[in-house]
Chain A
Amino acid sequence: MNEIFMNIGFWVLGITAVVSSLFMVTRENPVHSALWMLLTFFAVAGIFIQLDAEYIAAIQVMVYAGAILVLYMFVVMLLNPKSTGFIKMPFKVVLGGVVAVVLFVQILMTLMGTGVIKSTQLGNINYPEGFTNVKAFGTVMFTQYIVPFEVASVLLLVAMIGAIVIAKKD
């Protein structure tokens, strides 16, 4: 019974993610693109929950849907650009599509080449006794990966200062 729900959830979330990302790249108006991207982010957050990554799903909604998307919306509203939709030449649009399809087929063939395609069913992550997702995540993050964590915080500081310096009027 549980497995049936997992299957239904996967197909609903996956199709939502693919369709909304298709709409995102094909809408002329950037505001519509941003709203379709919001739907994609929520579908991907659901997929993270299916993969036993509850904490990641939460920060997906908070950071991507909450912060990054609002930043995009601010810039779209601020600039209010004249419609600059697609490449004018249809030939180049077709070329872009063909490149994307070729890349997709190439990834599929790589998957076929490895044993990954015949992998067994995904289960739940087995945590040690008394551990939940967030506790296991924090334990690994703040012991094994503490230095990369600090470097990431410096990166965010640099990005913040850089954004202020670049965007301010001289």
Chain B
Amino acid sequence: MLTLAHYLVLSAIIFSIGIAGVLIRRNLIVMFMSLELMLNAVNINLAAFSNYLQQMTGQIFIVFVMAVAAAEAAVGLALIISLFRNKQTINADEINTMRG
């Protein structure tokens, strides 16, 4: 029997893996990918609650989350490109110009 809890625990696992990815990895591109993973976990949550509450609102919110994710990917990758052009690195540990 599949309950709401199955889907919530699945999304919690994927979200935690995304958190671990952001904390462990130093490659800026992979850190961004982990962010997308976390947004995907949130989307599973919204879809599960949309089914549970018998309402379409959850699915509408998924579309907005996807729009924000697309915008974030476009601007973030543009920032990474301009950063790489100036510093020849995308390692988050080496980008420390503003450290006091």
Contact = CB atoms under 8 A, between A and B. Distances in A.
A81 B5 contact: no
A94 to B, nearest CB: 9
B67 A119 contact: no
A56 B63 contact: yes
Contacts of B10: 14, 17-18, 47
A122 B57 CA distance: 17
Contacts of A53: 47, 50-51, 59, 62
A41 B50 CA distance: 19
A82 B24 CA distance: 18
A97 to B, nearest CB: 6
Interface string A129-167: 000000011011100010010001001101110111011
A129 to B, nearest CB: 15
Interface string A18-50: 100110110000100110010011001001101
Contacts of B78: 162-164, 166-167
Interface string A62-98: 0110011001100110110110111110001101110
Interface residues of A, number: 88
B98 interface: no
Nearest to A145: B60
Contacts of B21: 24-25
Contacts, number: 239
A51 B62 CA distance: 13
Given A86-B26, A96-B24, A166-B75, A159 B70 contact: yes
B15 A37 contact: no
B5 A116 contact: yes
B32 to A, nearest CB: 7
A21 B3 CA distance: 23
A25 B20 contact: yes
A4 to B, nearest CB: 11
Contacts of B57: 140
A117 interface: yes
Nearest to B23: A96
18 contacts: A21-B17, A25-B20, A47-B10, A50-B2, A51-B50, A59-B66, A68-B69, A87-B26, A92-B24, A99-B20, A100-B23, A121-B1, A122-B51, A126-B54, A140-B56, A140-B60, A158-B71, A163-B77
